[in-house]
Structure 1
Amino acid sequence: MKAQMKNGQGGFTLIELMIVIAIIGILAAIALPAYQDYTVRARMSEPLAVAAEAKTTISEFVATNGALPGTAAEAGLNELTTVVTEAEPNTLVDTTTWNGGTGTFEITLKAVPQVPEALQGAGNGIRLVGTPTARGTVTWACGPTNVANAKYLPSSCRDAV
């Protein structure tokens, strides 16, 4: 008597395919929100570049005059604001304000499609607070104007200001 071996077809069973699809779905559910946060954080580099330019302008003023500028015009920030407002329509920066009394420079964010509504409009933006030192330099603290949005800023700009 010869034993006959039955050749079955190779391949995946339905349950194996369903498990693979479920795993891919779980990975996508985790990766998509992380990617969306990443793209928003990448967009936040634009207002931070404006902030860096303002910090340089104000620091130069303090080094020359020994005190914070009283107005944006005195600091030379009006030119910066003009450049920002005349930029392309997809720019993230809406307005910039300087308060010489408190040493506060604020950037308000504009409504653009790539940024969540929680980051747009009044009360949402970046705040820099400059404190002049005795050596003629400025120490800067950087943070969000709305603490709930700190996760979208780099770690160097998450101070409570």
Structure 2
Amino acid sequence: MQHAQKGFTLIELMIVVAIIGILAAVAVPAYQTYTVKARFTEVVSSASPYKLALETCFQELDSLTNCTNGSNGVPALTAAVANSNVAAASGAVTGNAPTAAIITMTAVNGTNGLAGETFTLTATATPGGSITWARGGTCLTRAAGPIC
């Protein structure tokens, strides 16, 4: 009388373990990149109040010359916030020209996979017209790939 095989052989189990190992080797780096991008999203979204304030300031003054931190409705520099991915003294707005202004946001340095990367929004305005925005910063030229 023959006994029916019950369970898996050692070879079958080793093949399954090898497949899981290969999948993990591909998935872990992709997940780490994903989490860094997700953390940097906080830095990008924190530029929104400054962007809105610059647009409002431009509409009121028809110039970006006096649209800087703490004046004409533009918020002051961002203070340190606990458990935040945005560095303190971030949100620098430079508006010293009638048709150009730059918003610079900086990520924290050395935690959560972030290394002090910057995110910039450059406003180019036409008097009596509108503002166009250009994205920039070190987040686009990061060695491990762009995160913004």
TM-score by length of 1: 0.76
In the other structure, the counterpart of 2:112 is 114
8 Å contact from structure 1 (residues 98, 105) kept in 2: yes
In the other structure, the counterpart of 1:133 is 126
**Structure-to-structure mapping, 1:5-44, within 5 angstroms:** 5-44=1-40
TM superposition shift of 1:75 = 4.3
CA RMSD of aligned residues (A): 2.1
8 Å contact from structure 1 (residues 105, 129) kept in 2: yes
TM-score by length of 2: 0.81
Q: 1:115 to 1:75 in 2, by over 3 A?
A: farther
Give the total of aligned pairs. 140
In the other structure, the counterpart of 1:99 is 94
Alpha-carbon distance in structure 2 between the residues aligned to 1:110 and 1:147: 16
Paired amino acid for 1:39:
T
List gaps (5 residues or longer) in structure 1: 154-161
More strand by share: 2
Alpha-carbon distance in structure 1 between the residues aligned to 2:127 and 2:28: 48
**Which of these residues, 53, 71, 76, is aligned with residue 74 of structure 1?**
71
Q: Which has the larger radius of gyration?
A: 1
In the other structure, the counterpart of 1:55 is 51
8 Å contact from structure 1 (residues 58, 69) kept in 2: no
Q: 1:146 to 1:47 in 2, by over 3 A?
A: closer
Alpha-carbon distance in structure 2 between the residues aligned to 1:131 and 1:85: 27
- 1:34-58 per-position Cα deviation (integer Å, ceiling 9, x unaligned): 1111111111121122211111000
Percent identical residues:
35
List gaps (5 residues or longer) in structure 2: none
- 1:73-130 per-position Cα deviation (integer Å, ceiling 9, x unaligned): 3343343x2xx31422x212222322213411111221252124xx32xxx2101100
Alpha-carbon distance in structure 1 between the residues aligned to 2:110 and 2:29: 18
